[in-house]
Homo-oligomer: A and B are copies of this chain.
């Protein structure tokens, strides 16, 4: 118990142009500053219902079972996997980056029988490769990351729903890094469960995980339902093979968000206010417009980086709109240059994990930071830092190319 004279929160101003978290939209922070209401206040349950409807718009689905898991994006992933998978169930995880490894890890801890196929970071699978693995492993669930921020590329999913349906497999995808910045169609593509987070293209802070579940997924999940002992009535469900977590028991969380309003956790009201505002702004803009916004500003960033001489990382044909990987130029100390960006200009760009660490920077253009001024300022300051590090760059090349891209 020290004697620290802690001061009120007063963070330095930062322009966050890494792979996320990024700056929250000020409108989202304002929504979160609203005072609380009770858990079952009619105003609160109305906000919960509106949040469900708004996220149907964001996920592009008519799934009734669309709600928030109270935790960061990986809380949503774990809720999906532990609610779908029983010990011994076979799950197939195509791994093409760090977050594929995370899906594997979470499924292993749920004691599922995890089968993986792996690809080099920066590449993705063909639908045929995935179908072949489904035929070989006969999984109950195919669990696949959409956009893996660790590699900047997104696995095309548009053909996987039909493949899964053909083989009687449930399709789960983690869209934390990609949703609202890249085309994603839950219903049209045949996804069964989709999870996300707020801290990337949705323009909010980390801490709430939107999720949507198809009727088929809900049936599997509800078959494991056990009503909590402390609030159980006679005749209430008690499963012989319950979900191995209370906090992530989606059957209970569904009863809390549904008409029964059966108490589970105490909803994280401020995070719900924020999550609702993220979705409200996106639905108002129109999801296709939001995707186009990310394509435009992400494209301008790539044009600028390319003109400055950066070599791009990964298969560019499947790169997400909202993040690009670039090889760190020879002779540049990646961490020192990132520190100079932060200390001299207040701008954060991202490092990388695993095999890319020390070799690749990741630069994000997403959510509130999909702005011309954010893109141009990042390029202008990066030019200064690289030149100071001895990299020969034509003055103004990055900004000029981005301006040209905007046209």
Q: Is A406's CB within 8 Å of the partner chain B?
A: no
**Complex Cα gap A57–B353 (Å):** 35
Q: Are B6 and A50 neighbours in the complex by a CB distance under 8 Å? A: yes
State whether A269 touches B57 (Cβ < 8 A): no
Residues of B within 8 A of A22 (CB): 36
The answer on a CB contact under 8 Å between A230 and B353 is yes
A106 to B1 CA separation, bound complex (whole angstroms)? 32
Bound-state CA distance A12–B34 (Å) is: 10
Q: Is A401 an interface residue (CB 8 A)?
A: no
**Contact indicator B31/A8 (Cβ below 8 Å):** yes
Q: How many copies does the complex hold?
A: 2
Known contacts A16-B38, A41-B342, A109-B246; A71/B74 CB under 8 A: no
Point out the residues of chain B lying under 8 angstroms from A181, CB to CB. Answer: none
Interface membership of chain A positions 4-44, coded 1 if the CB is closer than 8 angstroms to chain B and 0 otherwise: 10101111111010101111101101111111111101011
Query: Is A53 an interface residue when CB atoms closer than 8 A count as contact?
Result: yes
A78 to B82, CA, bound (A): 14
A9 to B231, CA, bound (A): 31
Given A12-B43, A16-B36, A39-B21, CB of A230 within 8 Å of CB of B266? no
Decide if A371 is an interface residue (CB 8 Å cutoff): no
Bound CA span A33–B35, Å? 12
Q: Which residues of B contact A228 (CB under 8 A)?
A: 101-102, 105
* Chain B residue at minimum C-beta to C-beta distance from A76: B247
Closest to A40 in B: B351
Query: Could you say which of B26, B61, B197, B247 contacts A78, with CB atoms under 8 Å apart?
Result: B247
Are B277 and A8 interface neighbours, CB within 8 A?
yes
For A, the interface residue count at a CB cutoff of 8 angstroms equals 100
Main DSSP-derived SS at the A contact region: loop
- Determine the chain B residues whose CB is within 8 A of the CB of A271 once the complex forms: 205, 207, 268, 270-271
3 pairs of A and B residues whose beta carbons are closest in the complex: A207-B268, A101-B230, A98-B230
A-B contact pairs, 24 of them (CB 8 A): A4-B50, A4-B54, A8-B277, A10-B34, A11-B34, A11-B43, A12-B43, A14-B37, A20-B266, A24-B270, A29-B35, A32-B32, A32-B33, A70-B75, A71-B71, A72-B268, A73-B265, A99-B230, A102-B229, A109-B244, A109-B246, A230-B354, A231-B354, A244-B244
Residues of A within 8 A of B (CB): 1-2, 4, 6, 8-14, 16, 18, 20-24, 26-27, 29-39, 41, 43-44, 47, 50, 53-54, 56-57, 60-62, 70-75, 78, 82, 97-102, 104-106, 109-111, 150, 197, 199, 205-207, 228-231, 242-249, 263, 265-271, 273-274, 276-277, 280, 283-284, 342, 348, 353-354
